[in-house]
Chain A
Amino acid sequence: MELLIKNGYVYDPINKINGEKMDIAVKDGKIVESVSSDAKVIDATNMLVMPGGVDIHSHIAGSKVNSGRILRPEDHYKDVKPRTAITRAEVGHTVPSTYTIGYRYARLGYTTVIEAASPPLKTRHTHEELNDIPLIDKSCYLVLDNNWIVLDYLSQGEIDKCAAFIGWIFKALKGYAIKIVNPGGVELWGWGKNVESLDDQVPPFDTTPREIIRGLCKINKMLNLPHTIHLHTNNLGKPGNYRTTIETMDTVSDLADGKPNIHITHVQFCGYGGDSWITLRSGAPEIAKYVNNHNHVTIDLGQVVFGDATTMTGDGPFQFILQNLTGNKWKNADVEAEGSAGIVPYKYKRKNFVNAVQWTIGLELALLIKDPWRVFLTTDHPNAGTFMKYPRVITWLMSKVAREKVLNKINKRAKKRSTLPSIDREYTFYEIAIITRAATAKALNLANKGHLGVGADADIAIYNINPMEIDPSKEYKKVRRALKRAAYTIKGGEIIVKDGEIVKSFIGETFWVKPAIPEDLEKDMLREVSEKFKEYYTVSLENYIIGENELASSKPIAVKTNL
């Protein structure tokens, strides 16, 4: 199966291609040098061509997401689409069905998405849902920082066995990276408590949040995992928490060796200055300064979009606080020996002072951080907004006028306090391509994603907009419209979207890492872990393990470790 995409303006930052008019050749699902005259031709004249989007943090599958769906039938009624010969029925707004998620990402030109937080004990559920998300390639991060076995080993200073255990968990449960959520705090939530600083104790474990983060950072390096540790900070959602965020970033700076070794997620939620909801202000300038001066950190935005959202995180205590603040219905679901999850419906309002400040923070971060290779576009879907709003967020980054329009509608006190009105920077298409596909693929170390070089997977997005003629600063509405409905989305060399409609559906791949653990170390570790399992868990170790055949389309990635 051959394709030739002709005459498009290509943005491929990994290969340093910046709006060059060139052809892209596809054969058997890969980008190739050239194709025969039999190739199907896509005329991309005057169109923008990019690699398919790579979303590094989104809540798309698993028990937490499904709890959100079940909790919120009211979310589904407003957003439905009847089934067609090619597509299943679509339903849901902030917590859509699995099919809806796949189709909607595809229509936006996204082709790889990662579920941001899967509790190990329920990861089988995550995979069953991933199996039912069409078209995109996908994976999941495993939440490991409040895991009793991890905490036991870290407390006892047994870092080798801890690394072996974590390596084994990736093989057993088929995940991609180490996810950390309010380290220590979520374990204390098992008693209804929380932590407030990086150096709080986490009884009965002899450890602190700082030690957990550093331990996992070291282990990540020992295991040589493709992505860094992916971290949701302590004190999320608390006024003044930007300090915790900077402290968190700084706590592993001595462990870095020139490359990023920590990714802080949805930094908007942990970028608050002030010391109360009344004195709330943006902490983005301080965080941006730190990120600009330290290249061991990557972040993603968690940009707020006004309107409906569903907050869902593994930060049980934070979700409880949010429930008390809003009075909204609240689901809490602790997972034995591992963590928690909380879901609270939410709505971001322009005239609400806090929401307006939150809105400015994500944008300030993106505009003040100089290196687009280390700041990624997300809305922490569906926490700060849905992924359907990515095109809108992009226009806020590319157009000061677009930002001003919103600034004039938000709470006036928030606007006055924000540095956003004074920022002139406007992202280019090249930079947008970086923060939505090139940089994320690079941060994930997915060699065949996020670029259009020969050998890459043929995951391509073509948008009906002429980057040479359009002025995205003034004509941002056109940009938004074009990015909302791809002219073409190509996945593995197959045309899946044409003019914003799904034309073909199939299941993409679930990729996961398979670290090589030395046999003896693994055996010793498993002997201990089997005993702990009997006491800590209510399932047998054998049944905890997920078979590869449970994944509809499994793509293991062998990883040579430093163990």
Chain B
Amino acid sequence: MKTIRNVVCPFCGSLCDDIEVEIEDNRVVKVRKGCAISATKFTKYNEERIYKPRIDGREVSLEEAINEAVEILANAKYPALYGWSCTSTEAINIGIEIAELVGGVMDNTASVCHGPTILGEQDAGISTCTLGQVKNRAELIIYWGCNPAHAHPRHMARYSAASRGRFVKGRKERTVIVVDVRKTHTAKTADIFIQIKPNSDFELLTALRWAVKNGELEQEEIAGIPAEKIEELADMLISCRFGALFFGLGLTMSAGKARNIEAAVNLVRELNNYTKFVMVPMRGHFNVTGANEVMAWATGFPFAVDFSRGYPFYNPGDTTFVDVLTRGDCDAALIVASDPVSGFPAEAIRNLAKIPVITLDPHETLTTMISKVVIPTAVVGIEAEGSAYRMDAVPLRLKKLVEPPPGILSDEEVLKLILKKLKERVK
């Protein structure tokens, strides 16, 4: 039995890197320090596992499955390559080369998560920092439209509200504000809870910015919040020494979407005229940030990249996967490390089910259920190593703790095999 320390957890954007696992007989038998989700992932990763590649539901050899995948991609006029957020940066990089070679459209799960954050950033910029900067300096923290108690369980203790840094020694030295439509478990730990009316974040963010800049609001109530409360909040934001706004899908998915982010960016930008303020998006999957980074350095654009012209073209709303599917534009799909059938609207799923789908995943999912070709792969961060980027774009190295089941390769290795054969087929 051996103990491996400083293991990087491959679940959420917190990318905690202090996990300890005990390995016995090529299995993880114990996990320490991780949250409940982490502990489940590290010990139950063999549940609903796929052990053999399949074509149309029947088991085939890896070579057959790869050949079929190559044929599908080579023959498609406009294949879509999607997912990518739960695998290594190296694997995603191969995916980019494949997408470019076949002239398809490549998108990652950011488009249904913090894509709007990126869109807002592309319009207005962003003032951000790595998480340690918050831990060390932030005495005021806002959680807006996010619920770390459920989605990033160790975030508050490791990086934010309850973290211990050089200049701020713990929860007692911080003021925590939560803005949400429900009194979430995160809200229950806050000093101030602002229960905002659904779909009115844009108004409240704008009102706050006005109050920061001008002091007084003309309306009595905005977004369900009394004006005095908003003015009071604005004062708090201006007078703190270092403030941090953590925001999630409450902003990106509700009415306004990217405009909500723009409003938040402009509020934080204004605050920087008075004090120091930053904002950090609560990225969901453990390497969605890495997918954005590698796609950007290789193609210029962080998601929704169309290669049908032979060069990268970016037009969210047009080249984003949900839209591509809804229009029925793609005639084949390669899904890697993602389960869109579990999370996409019905019309998109219906169109996905009409075309040949190749899926790379260690586990049975609703997407493997409708796929023509299924290639099981290793669990990244447990059975395969690779690079991953945290929500604040800090890059870490996922470890390989145990061997994958016999015959199972990593996403990176399978994609390399697909790329090699495609290069022979496509010029």
Q: Is B6 an interface residue (CB 8 A)?
A: yes
Partner of A192, one of B89, B272, B294, B397: B272
Indicate if A329 sits at the interface (CB-CB under 8 A). Answer: yes
Chain A residues contacting B246 (CB-CB under 8 Å) are none
Does residue A90 face the partner (Cβ distance < 8 Å to B)? yes
Q: Does any Cβ of A come within 8 Å of B210's Cβ?
A: no
Chain A window 81-99, contacts with chain B (Cβ cutoff 8 Å), 1 for yes, 0 for no:
1110100111110011111
Known: A69-B297, A539-B396, A543-B8. A336 touches B126 (CB 8 A): no
With contact pairs A128-B387, A336-B133, A536-B132 given, residues A89 and B125 touching in the complex (Cβ less than 8 Å): no
Answer yes or no: B2 CB below 8 A from chain A CBs. no
Q: Could you tell me if B301 and A335 are in contact, using CB atoms closer than 8 angstroms?
A: no
B residues less than 8 Å from A320 (CB atoms): 272
Residues in chain B near residue A124, CB distance under 8 A: 387, 395-397
Point out the residues of chain B lying under 8 angstroms from A128, CB to CB: 89, 294, 297, 387, 395
The reply to whether the CB of B175 lies closer than 8 angstroms to some CB of chain A is: no
Q: Which of A70-78, A104-112, A517-525 forms contacts with chain B?
A: A70-78
In residues 157-201 of chain A, which contact B (Cβ within 8 Å)?
Answer: 190-192
Question: Out of B118, B125, B310, B427, which one reaches A330, CB within 8 Å?
Answer: B125
- The number of residue pairs between A and B whose CB atoms lie closer than 8 Å in the complex comes to 186
A539 to B427, CA, bound (A): 44
- The verdict on A82 contacting B118 (CB below 8 Å), with A97-B300, A128-B387, A333-B129 known, is no
Name the B residues within 8 Å of A88 (CB-CB): 97, 100, 298
| Secondary structure call for the A interface | mixed
Q: Mark A292-319, 1 if CB is under 8 A from B, else 0.
A: 0000000000000000000000000000
Interface string of A338-361 (1 = CB under 8 A from B): 001001100000000000000000
Cβ-based interface call for A537 (8 A): yes
* Most chain A beta-carbon neighbours within 10 Å: one of B8, B301, B387: B301
A425 to B116, CA, bound (A): 54
Contact A190 B276 (CB under 8 A): yes
Interface bracket on B: 35 or more
Structural contact, A337 and B89, CB atoms closer than 8 A = no
Can you list, as one digit per residue, whether each of A530-563 has a CB less than 8 Å from chain B (1) or not (0)? 0000011111101100010010000000000000
Taking A69-B296, A129-B297 as contacts, is the C-beta distance between A331 and B314 under 8 angstroms?
Answer: no
Question: A99 near B298 (CB under 8 angstroms)?
Answer: yes
Interface residue ranges of A43-96 to B (CB < 8 Å) = 61, 63, 65-66, 69-73, 75-76, 80-83, 85, 88-92, 95-96
List the A side residues contacting B420 at CB < 8 Å: none
Determine whether B288 belongs to the interface, using a CB cutoff of 8 Å to chain A: no
In the complex, whether B93 has a CB less than 8 A from a CB of chain A is yes
Query: B141: shortest Cβ distance to chain A, in Å?
Result: 15
Chain A contact-residue range equals: 35 or more
Set B126, B137, B297, B311: member contacting A132, Cβ < 8 A: B297
A413 sits at the interface (CB 8 A): no
- Could you say which residues of chain A place their CB within 8 Å of the CB of B301? 69-70, 73, 76
Minimum C-beta distance from A288 to chain B (A): 37
Q: Are B133 and A70 in contact (CB under 8 A)?
A: no
CB distance from A65 to the nearest CB of B (A): 8
Q: Which residues does chain B contribute within 8 Å of A336, judged by CB atoms?
A: 129-133, 135-136
Question: With the chains together, A132 CA to B6 CA distance in Å?
Answer: 28
Flag whether B269 is at the interface (Cβ < 8 A).
Answer: yes
B121 within 8 A of A: yes
Q: A331 contacts B126, CB within 8 Å?
A: yes
Q: Are A96 and B6 in touch, CB under 8 angstroms? A: no
A409 at the interface (CB under 8 A from B): no
- Answer whether A538 and B135 are a contact pair too, CB < 8 Å, given A97-B297, A334-B278: yes
Chain B contacts for A330, CB-based, 8 A: 125, 127, 269
A323 at the interface (CB under 8 A from B): yes
A510: interface (CB < 8 Å): no
| A335 (CB) vs chain B CBs: closest residue | B130
B128 and A70 contact, CB distance less than 8 A: no
B193 lies within 8 A of chain A by Cβ: no
Q: Tell me the complex Cα distance, A91–B100, Å.
A: 13
Q: Which of B84-115 contact A (CB under 8 A)?
A: 89, 93, 97, 100-101
> Does A125 count as interface, using CB distance less than 8 angstroms?
yes
- Please, which residues of chain A bring their CB within 8 A of the CB of B129? 332-336, 340
CB distance from B386 to the nearest CB of A (A): 10
Contact check: which of B123, B293, B311, B396 meets A91 at CB < 8 Å? B311
Contact partner, B17, options A83, A89, A191, A539, Cβ 8 Å: A539
Contact with A along B268-307 (1 / 0, CB 8 A): 0100110110100000000000001110111111100001
- Within the complex, which residue of B278, B296, B395 is in contact with A70, where a contact is CB–CB below 8 Å? B296
Chain B residues whose C-beta falls within 8 Å of the C-beta of A337 in the assembled complex: 132, 136, 166
A70→B302 contact, CB < 8 A:
yes
Residues of A with C-beta under 8 A to B273: 324
Contact A125–B6 (Cβ < 8 Å): no
- Do A83 and B311 touch across chains, with their CB atoms under 8 A apart? yes
Among A95, A328, A329, the one with the most B-chain Cβ atoms within 10 Å of its Cβ is: A329
Report if B159 contacts A (CB, 8 A): yes
Q: Is A40 part of the binding interface, using a Cβ–Cβ cutoff of 8 Å?
A: no
Nearest chain A residue, comparing its CB with the CB of B169: A535
Known: A76-B312, A76-B314, A543-B397. A331 touches B132 (CB 8 A): no
Q: Is B122 an interface residue (CB 8 A)?
A: yes
How far, in Å, is B346 (CB) from chain A's closest CB? 30
Q: Is the CB of B124 within 8 A of A122?
A: no
Contact A333 B393 (CB under 8 A): yes
Q: Which of B300-324 contact A (CB under 8 A)?
A: 300-302, 307, 309-312, 314
User: B18 at interface (Cβ–Cβ under 8 A)?
Assistant: yes
Interface 0/1 of B70-94, CB less than 8 Å to A: 0000000000000000000100010
A543 and B393 contact, CB distance less than 8 A:
no
Residues of A within 8 A of B6 (CB): 540, 542-543
B242 close to A (CB within 8 Å) = yes
Beta-carbon contact of B298 and A192 below 8 Å: no
Q: Is the CB of A191 within 8 A of B311?
A: no
Q: Closest CB-CB distance, B19 to chain A, in whole Å? A: 10
Can you list, as one digit per residue, whether each of B400-427 has a CB less than 8 Å from chain A (1) or not (0)? Answer: 0000000000000000000000000001
Given contacts A66-B293, A97-B298, A336-B132, list 6 more A-B pairs with CB under 8 A: A97-B297, A124-B395, A191-B242, A335-B133, A538-B158, A540-B6
Q: Which residues of A contact B (CB under 8 A)?
A: 61, 63, 65-66, 69-73, 75-76, 80-83, 85, 88-92, 95-99, 121-122, 124-125, 128-129, 132, 148, 190-192, 320, 323-324, 328-337, 340, 343-344, 535-540, 542-543, 547, 550
